[in-house]
Amino acid sequence: MSWVAVGVAGASAVMGVMSAQEKQKTQKAQNIAAAEQTRNSPWTGMGAGQMQTSAPSTMGSGLQSGLGGYMAGRNIDQGFEDRKLAKAEERKKEQQEAIRKITEETEL
């Protein structure tokens, strides 16, 4: 397992949890405001205000963000591996060329 992928996944999971908590806090404040409007202004005929009930779960947001981060980390790590492979292939070609030159020079 790649440490890059694990690190990015962990950071993403923390960010997802924090985002979900902030959304829940905002939703709670909006619901309190809607309840206050309904309670204090029954004569306007407003009825119940727009109540929000689809709060993101902290666990779900953390898992979703963590998985996305893990996939991003794996892609970053794969890029490093591809770069190493390309350098190794380039060195191999250089060595083969050097061997070819030596054999040409030593042939009678």
pLDDT digits (tens, 9 = 90+) for 5-17: 777 788 888 888 8
pTM score of the predicted model: 0.52
Note the pLDDT of residue 7: 79
pLDDT of amino acid 35: 78
Give the N- to C-terminal CA distance of the chain in Å, as an integer: 53
**pLDDT for residue 91:** 93
Residue identified by tokens 């996939």 is 71
**Rounded Cα–Cα distance for residues 9 and 63 (Å):** 9
pLDDT beyond 70 at 1: no
6-62: pLDDT as tens digits: 777 888 888 888 888 888 888 888 888 877 777 776 665 555 556 666 666 777 777
Q: What local confidence, expressed as pLDDT, does residue 3 receive?
A: 72
**Could you give phi then psi for residue 70, rounded to 5 degrees?**
-65, -45
Give the model confidence (pLDDT) of 58-97 as tens digits: 777 777 888 888 888 888 888 888 899 999 999 999 999 9
